[in-house]
Amino acid sequence: MRGDNGLKIDQPSDVRKIIHVDMDAFYASVEQRDDPSLRGRPVVVAWRGNRSVICAASYEARRFGIRSAMPAVRAERLCPDAVFVAPDFNRYRAVSRRVRDIFSRHSQIIEPLSLDEAYLDVTDNLGGHDSATAVAQSIRREIREELDLAASAGVGPNKFLAKLASDWKKPDGLFVIRPERARELIAPLPVSRIPGVGKVMDRKLAAIGIQTIADLALANPASLETHFGKFGPRLHQLAQGHDDRPVCADRKRLSVSAEDTFASDLPLQALDDHIRRMAERTWQAAQKMNRAAHTVVLKLKTSDFRILTRSQTSMIPPGSASELALIALDLRHRVQLPESTLYRLVGVGLSGFEDEKSDVLQSELFDRPVGGQMLGK
């Protein structure tokens, strides 16, 4: 059988039922829920300051072009009336646990991706619902009624399609991609909608004539592998609507990092601000994981594409973005290259994550004040 776009449509014999749930503007929505004076106003969750970046923005703030990971000073320029609220990760984690409790009423197979999103395998759901759509409707209703928050959900036969579906009608939406219509629905989407396809990959695909998922599905897999290595065939599989990854309950993330490629190559001594900015972004991402990391990694790429990594593992993990930045800056002293060496990229990462500890220990590790402020995502 072929769809209108000419793509062959396979009818899988054993269809899974996967839901992707994404809390809408989670941090900002929690702030607006808990402080009614913020409702309807452009709320930005971030510390103020030249080196701060945005943790989250309400939909009112997004209308001004404000986005997560944007420098706070730029957000202030885009919307001078934006209300800045300092992040409170203890509260966000507490709300996230309540969302997770709602998920657990419907499935034992839950893969949390962060505090605000997760996959659920509801092929055999716990609530006795007739369909995955009914499960998703129930989850969204319970979140709304019990927590006064909105969640978007996507339903599909695999993780890739469920993730695409959850973005379809945001905010506060539900969309279903049925197996028989999957190729037809995803074909016209830009390839940038595929996880892992960023701006650089998007440009590279466009350079060989691939702009939509339909283009990608019709491409030669061998040619894609020549251009993009192992990621090429993987892209081709996703463009067919195929994704056999299981939903992994309590998946442990091994590392988190942020990288920055410079507009022009720089000497090592000129990387301070870049390292601090990457440390803050990495720290923000780590806050979603509710575990402490003992290893700090500094990654550098020279102008001739040589990659260097330096790491430090400590008994006591960094307790703030500032501490993480200081360790990363100190790791530069272990780089034994000529001072004339230029660099095109720097990255800061965290690894060696502990299993979840007691709330007391986690509170001490993640919420230690630095200079009178608590830094985080």
Q: For residue 200, what is the enclosing H or E element? A: helix 199-207
Q: Is 117 a catalytic residue?
A: yes
- Classify residue 76 as exposed, middle or buried by CB count within 10 Å of its CB (0-12, 13-18, 19+): middle
Cα–Cα distance for residue pair 57/42, rounded to 1 Å: 7
Domains of the chain: 18-24+90-183 (3.30.70.270), 26-87 (3.40.1170.60), 187-239 (1.10.150.20), 255-366 (3.30.1490.100)
Select which of 117, 145, 184, 280 is catalytic: 117
Q: Return the half-sphere exposure (C-beta side, CA atoms, 13 A cut-off) of residue 115.
A: 24
Per the structure block, which two tokens stand in for 120? 């659920």
The runs of H, that is alpha helices, within 208-320 are: 213-217, 221-228, 231-239, 272-287
CA distances from 292 to 104, 109, 249, 364 (A): 25, 24, 20, 10
Task: Give long-range contacts, CB 8 A cutoff, 24+ apart: 68-71.
Answer: 69/281, 69/284
Q: Which pLDDT tens digits describe the chain residue by residue (377 residues)?
A: 343 343 433 444 478 999 999 999 999 999 999 999 999 999 999 988 776 778 899 999 999 999 987 888 999 999 999 999 999 988 999 999 999 999 999 999 999 888 899 999 999 999 899 999 999 999 999 999 999 999 999 999 999 999 999 999 999 999 999 999 999 999 999 999 998 787 778 889 999 999 999 999 999 999 999 988 888 899 999 999 999 999 988 656 568 899 988 888 999 999 999 999 999 999 988 887 767 888 899 999 998 888 888 888 876 788 888 989 999 999 998 888 888 999 999 999 998 876 543 333 333 333 333 322 223 33
Which residue in 111, 128, 98, 200 sits closest to 162, CA to CA?
Answer: 111
